[in-house]
Homo-oligomer: A and B are copies of this chain.
Amino acid sequence: MPRKRNGKSHGAPTIAQVATEAGVSPATVSRVMNGRFVGADEIAERVLQAAARLDYSPSYSARSLALGHTQAVAFVAPDLRNPAFQTILSGLSATAGDDGYRVLIGDSAESVSEEPLLAREVRRRCDALVLCAPRMDQEELSGLAPALQPMVLINRSGGGAVPTLNVDYYSGIRSLLEHLHDLGHRRIAYVSGPAHSASNEHRRAGIRSFRDRHPETGVIEVAGGASSQDGFEAVDSVLRAEVSAVLAFNDLVAIGLIGGLQDQGRSVPEDISVAGFDDIPFARYIAPPLTTASVPHEELGIQAWYRLRALIKGQEPAHDVVFQPRLEVRSSTAAPQSSPR
Q: A interface vs B, CB < 8 Å?
A: 2-3, 12, 55, 57, 59-62, 64-68, 70, 72, 80-81, 83, 86-87, 89-90, 93-94, 97, 102-107, 109, 120-122, 124-125, 147, 255, 258-259, 281-282, 284-289
Contact = CB atoms under 8 A, between A and B. Distances in A.
A214 to B, nearest CB: 31
Given A104-B102, A286-B287, A89 B83 contact: no
Given A55-B147, A68-B2, A105 B124 contact: no
A191 B327 CA distance: 34
A288 B289 CA distance: 11
Given A68-B3, A93-B107, A147-B55, A259 B285 contact: yes
Nearest to A259: B285
A133 B251 CA distance: 31
A124 B57 contact: yes
Nearest to A65: B61
A258 B288 CA distance: 14
A67 B285 contact: no
Contact of A66 (B2, B68, B105, B106): B2
B103 A105 contact: yes
Contacts of A97: 106-107, 109
